[in-house]
Every structure is written in C-alpha cells, then in structure tokens.
C-alpha cells in the first residue's frame, strides 16, 4: 500500500516581524504630562542661568504672549466688527417690527425678539464674528492651571497636592525635587525660599490687588448693561477675596507666577484700550422712527433694540 501523502497544514505558524512585536516591562512607566513640563522648566533654568525668581515671571509673560495675546487680539477684532454692524442690526430689527406690527400685543415682543436674534446671528455669521468667538480668551484658563500645577510639582509636598494629582502626578518626584532645589535659595528680597509661604503677605496682596484692578478696569471701559452682566461683574469682584485668602497659604514661587500673570493681563488691557480702542457705539434709534407701529408696541421694540446692544 503506497504511503499516504500528508497535506500541507492549513494554518501556518504566525511569524511576527521585529517591528510588530510588543514588549511589556513593568518597570518602564510612561512619562506624565507634569514630567514633561517640569523637565522643560528645569532645562530652561539650567540653560538660561536665570534665578528662579526671574525665570518664573519670564515664563508667565511668555505664556501670556504665546496664548493670551493672539486670542485677545482676535476676539477684540470680532468685537469691533460687531459694534460696527450695530446700525445694520438695529435697522433689521425695525424692519422686522414693521412686518410683525399686525400681531397681537401679547405675542408681539416674543416673536420680534426671536426673529431679531435669528437675523442678528445670520448677519454676524456672514461677517465671521459669531458670538462664541468673543469667549476665546477663556481658553487661557487651562493653560494657566497647567502652568500652576507644573510649578507646584517642583516644590516639596507636591505628591499630596490635589492640583498635581489631577494632571497625573510625577513619575520620580525625588529626582524633580533635586533638580529644582534652587527654588529654596534663589528667591528675592524678603522671600529667599520660593517653596515657603510669604511671611509678609506682600505677594498675596499684590496678586489680589492686580486681580481686583483687572475686574474693575474691565467694568470701567465696558460697563455691564444687562442684569446678568452686572451680576457676573459683581461676582468676579467678590471672588478676589477668596483668591487672596488661598494665595496666602501657597508657596511664594506659585504666588509670584500668579501675580506676574495678573499684572501682565492688566498692562495688556490698558495698552489695548489706549492703542487699539474699540469703536464707539452709535446712538440708539429713536422712537419717532416707528411712526407706523402702534404706540403700545413701540416700547417692546425698544426693549429688543436695547438687548441687541448689550454686548
């Protein structure tokens, strides 16, 4: 009987190429976000040979220039466009009021408000100045928080800090603390140890005063007109008190960063108000322009017009 020929196997052994092999090693942790940022700060300190008391304000200004300044200029240009479009926005509102003058008084205002808002949003979209673009400067807040966590991670006790833990902590906190040991000796004036609290509370007072000046100056150059805007402005003013209290218990190096950032923000706002001032708003349309609208509806039209001017 002839020998039976063996068929070739259907399933061939899987051969992994070197580039497809995955290696697992329990002692090789991945670098966290704070590992990268703290390494950047310590490298800048060793490369520039600046003391930590100078490097921290320079880092605050650099971040503001890279992130805050472009967003502020872009948002300010959109605000200028919106203010320039106010005459056309009010003219459209009056046109819609004449079209809807035949509706009953109890639904006239709500219908006009919705129609005017839709028309205004279409006009702003055509000119590329949607309202959400006015809030782009708020994107600097995550950058500010991340930079604060990076500085806090360089100081003793960072492992127990909630802000540091939120960003994933440090892989090797002992090595980071050793590289940033200069924070204890490279202070300034009355604060030589930037990892300790300011005994004179001068830095917290400077930080609180700069934040309060920012809030009040913004309210001065752009007075809030709506009720919600006034509430927000008052709430921000009150918030400066707990911010001052919190800064009193923080390391001096961290408060120095906060104060430098707040002072730069105030200086930028003043510079823009002087050299790149927003255009003046034109006067509101007059009631006499609504002769073909019933008198009982003219007040409702003025309310809608005033709402469009509350930027």
pLDDT at position 210, please?
Answer: 94
pLDDT at position 9, please?
Answer: 52
Q: Which two tokens stand for residue 218?
A: 């913004």
Conformational region of residue 168, where left means phi above 0, alpha means psi within -120 to 50, and beta covers everything else? left
pTM above 0.95, yes or no: no
Largest Cα–Cα separation, the chain: 117
pLDDT at position 32, please?
Answer: 80
pLDDT at position 21, please?
Answer: 42
pLDDT at position 244, please?
Answer: 92
Distance CA 116, CA 97 (A): 9
- Domain coordinates of the chain in residue numbers? 33-106+122-277+298-306
Distance CA 98, CA 83 (A): 24
Regions of the chain short of the pLDDT cut 50: 1, 11, 14-25, 28
Residues 221-231: pLDDT tens digits? 888 777 777 88
pLDDT at position 96, please?
Answer: 81
Which of 90, 83, 146 lies closest to 278, judged by CA?
Answer: 83
CA-angle at 54, arms to 52 and 59, nearest 5°: 90
**Do residues 202 and 190 touch, judged by C-beta distance below 8 A?**
yes
Q: Which residue matches tokens 């006790």?
A: 157
């Amino acid at each position: 009987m002839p020998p039976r020929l063996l068929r070739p196997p259907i399933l061939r052994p899987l051969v992994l190429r070197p580039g497809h092999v995955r290696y697992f090693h329990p002692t090789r942790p991945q670098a966290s976000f704070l590992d990268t940022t703290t390494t950047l700060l310590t490298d800048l300190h060793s490369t520039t040979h600046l003391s930590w008391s100078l490097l921290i304000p320079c880092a605050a200004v650099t971040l503001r220039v890279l992130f805050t300044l472009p967003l502020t200029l872009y948002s300010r240009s959109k605000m200028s466009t919106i203010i320039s479009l106010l005459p056309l926005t009010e003219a459209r509102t009056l046109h819609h009021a004449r079209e809807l003058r035949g509706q009953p008084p109890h639904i006239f205002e709500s219908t006009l408000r919705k129609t005017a808002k839709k028309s205004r949003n279409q006009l702003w979209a055509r000119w590329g100045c949607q309202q959400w673009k006015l809030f782009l400067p708020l994107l600097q807040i995550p950058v500010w928080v991340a930079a604060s966590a990076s500085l806090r991670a360089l100081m003793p006790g960072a492992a127990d800090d909630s802000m540091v833990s939120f960003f994933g902590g440090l892989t090797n906190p002992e090595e980071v603390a050793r590289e940033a040991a200069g924070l204890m000796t490279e202070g300034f004036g009355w604060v030589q140890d930037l990892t300790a609290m300011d005994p004179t509370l001068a830095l917290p007072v400077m930080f609180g005063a700069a934040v309060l000046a920012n809030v009040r100056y913004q309210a001065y150059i752009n007075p809030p007109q709506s009720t919600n805007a006034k509430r927000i402005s008052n709430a921000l003013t009150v918030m400066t008190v707990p911010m001052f209290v919190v800064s009193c218990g923080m390391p001096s190096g961290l408060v120095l960063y906060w104060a430098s950032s707040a002072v730069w923000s105030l200086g930028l706002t003043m510079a823009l108000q002087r050299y790149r001032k927003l255009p003046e708003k034109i006067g509101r349309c007059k009631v006499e322009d609504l002769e073909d609208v019933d008198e009982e509806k003219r007040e409702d039209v003025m309310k809608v017009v005033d709402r469009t001017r509350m930027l």
